Every structure is written in structure tokens, then in C-alpha cells.
């Protein structure tokens, strides 16, 4: 679906310019993401470009123009796979690497925020509305008289096939295992096993999903 006609001449011109620049980057595949191999160039998110990306996202229909959104994020420094679908209200505020695998859905008002730590989201992941993925935190009482001390950030890895329920918060240093499910409203501060179902604040394991999840210990 072509959306440029709905944006006016200035909006359409801005998108065309960014789109052309985005094709100079290397696209990610699901296999490459799973291998964690060497990338063609050091992908780091560029805050100034992200600011422009968010402006253009605001002109686009909420659940349309997915190819344009993918190319905009690539232009801003992200590694984005094929058939990734991103709602226009999603926001990205980080300077580390952002990697999103093939076929993943990023829902309405999703927030990915932090410092220099990487965020990796695998292939065929479903991220429901208002999920927060937060890599940054603070040392406790690192500054006299102030509870939030020196800031730091830790990477977050979300493996293939994960389903993240609405209004979930995932904190830095967490690995969410393949084909696991996080219940709506959960606060995830520790690793989630492959095929696990977790929920609550803080999140605790509820059950395991046996179907379609191979034993990763081999």
C-alpha cells in the first residue's frame, strides 16, 4: 500500500530522501540474527535521526506503510529484518545496537529505551501494546543523598517466537528464551526459559509450553 499521497509534498519528499539513504545499509536475516555473526558495519542508533524518524512515524497510518517504517529505522542505525511490522506510535530511545528479526510485530506505544546497551529482538516475536523494554538503570545510593546513583545499561535479548503481553516491562540484563510467553502486565527482571510462561510483579514462572519447543541443552 502506498501512503505517500496522504502526507503532502513536504512529508513525501522527506520520506523519499530518508528511504534512499536507508538502502545503503545491510539488511538482517533471521539466520544471521540467530548466529550472532559479524555485521558489515557497526550499527549504533543515531539519536538525531531517531528524532526525525519519530516525526515521520507520526504522519503514517498506525498499521500501514510497514516497509517505509523498516527503512526509516535502518536509516537511523537499526538492523531490521524482512516483513517486520511496526505500529506508528512505537518509540525508540537508545544509542546501542537495535536488532529486530524477520516477521516480528512491534505493537502500539511500545517503548524501547536505554543507554549504550544492545537490544536484540528475534524473528517472529509478537510485542503487544505498551510494552516497555528498558536497558538502563542506576546504582543504588551511588550519590550521597540520592537513591538513584551512577547510571548504567545492560543488554536485553528476546529470542525467536516470543509473545510479550500488553503493558509488560522487561529490564536490562534479561534473556527471554525462545517461544516463551510473558503475561500482560508482568515485570521481567530475570531470564525467562525457552518455552516458559511467566507473569506477575516481579515475574515468576507459571508453566511451560511443551509444543514446538526443542530441547536447547543438546
**Catalytic residue IDs:** 138
Sheet with 79-80, strands from edge to edge, namely 79-80, 98-100, 119-121, 156-158, 175-176
Neighbouring-strand partners of residue 170: 133, 188
Q: From CA 56, how far away is CA 89, in angstroms rounded?
A: 11
- Burial of 31 from C-beta contacts in 10 A (0-12 / 13-18 / 19+): exposed
CA angle 102, 107, 113 (to 5 degrees): 90
Q: From CA 73, how far away is CA 65, in angstroms rounded?
A: 13
| Sign of the CA dihedral running 4, 7, 13, 14 | negative
Q: From CA 180, how far away is CA 139, in angstroms rounded?
A: 30
Which H or E run contains 48?
helix 47-57
Gyration radius of the chain over CA positions? 18
* Grid coordinates belonging to 38: 559479524
Amino acid at each position: 500500500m502506498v501512503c505517500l499521497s496522504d502526507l503532502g509534498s513536504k512529508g513525501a519528499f522527506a520520506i523519499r530522501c530518508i528511504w534512499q539513504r536507508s538502502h545503503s545499509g545491510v539488511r538482517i536475516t533471521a539466520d544471521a540474527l540467530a548466529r550472532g555473526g559479524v555485521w558489515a558495519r557497526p550499527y549504533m542508533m543515531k539519536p538525531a535521526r531517531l528524532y526525525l524518524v519519530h516525526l515521520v512515524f507520526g504522519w503514517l497510518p498506525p498499521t500501514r506503510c510497514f516497509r517505509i517504517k523498516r527503512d526509516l529505522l535502518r536509516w537511523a542505525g537499526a538492523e531490521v529484518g524482512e516483513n517486520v511490522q511496526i505500529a506508528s506510535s512505537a518509540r525508540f530511545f537508545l544509542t546501542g545496537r537495535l536488532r529486530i528479526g524477520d516477521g516480528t510485530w512491534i505493537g502500539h506505544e511500545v517503548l524501547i529505551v536505554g543507554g549504550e546497551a544492545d537490544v536484540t529482538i528475534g524473528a517472529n516475536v509478537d510485542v503487544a501494546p505498551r510494552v516497555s523494554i528498558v536497558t538502563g538503570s542506576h546504582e543504588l545510593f551511588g550519590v550521597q543523598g540520592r537513591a538513584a546513583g551512577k547510571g548504567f545499561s545492560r543488554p536485553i535479548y528476546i529470542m525467536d517466537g516470543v509473545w510479550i503481553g500488553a503493558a509488560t516491562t522487561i529490564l536490562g540484563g534479561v534473556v527471554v528464551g525462545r517461544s516463551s510467553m510473558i503475561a500482560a502486565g508482568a515485570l521481567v527482571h530475570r531470564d525467562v526459559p525457552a518455552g516458559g510462561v511467566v507473569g506477575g510483579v516481579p515475574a515468576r514462572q507459571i508453566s511451560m509450553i511443551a509444543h514446538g519447543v526443542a530441547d536447547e541443552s543438546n
